[in-house]
Amino acid sequence: MYDLKCGQKNCKYNHGYCCCAKDIAVSHGTCCTTFEQSDGDKNINTEAAAEFSKPDFSVDTAVVCNAPCLFNRSTKCIANGITVSTADDGSAECLTFIKK
């Protein structure tokens, strides 16, 4: 999947609101379990730059999904793209989720 947007600013895989992980996993509860906290110092230095950088959708990310979602086909996400953002509890959550 090339169109994977990430609003989780403090994830080490988020570069200019694009996910640059090779693969991600979405749990049964729609959380992105690949989320990994970035180093605090690194995040402070790049946060503003990330907001102004041009998005790069060139990473083909495999999305394994265990959520009861309309786009889940045998644990593979078949959506054209997904958006991950920060949930109320601070975790990374798939916003493209549509309950079956």
CA-based nearest residue to 26, from 59, 57, 1: 1
**Confidence class of residue 23 from pLDDT cuts 50, 70 and 90?**
very high
The yes-or-no verdict on residue 49 having pLDDT over 80 is no
Q: What is the pTM of this model?
A: 0.78
* Residue 49 neighbours by CB under 8 Å, 6+ apart: none
**Confidence class of residue 45 from pLDDT cuts 50, 70 and 90?**
very low
The confidence score (pLDDT) of residue 65 equals 97
Q: Compute the average pLDDT of residues 65-82.
A: 96
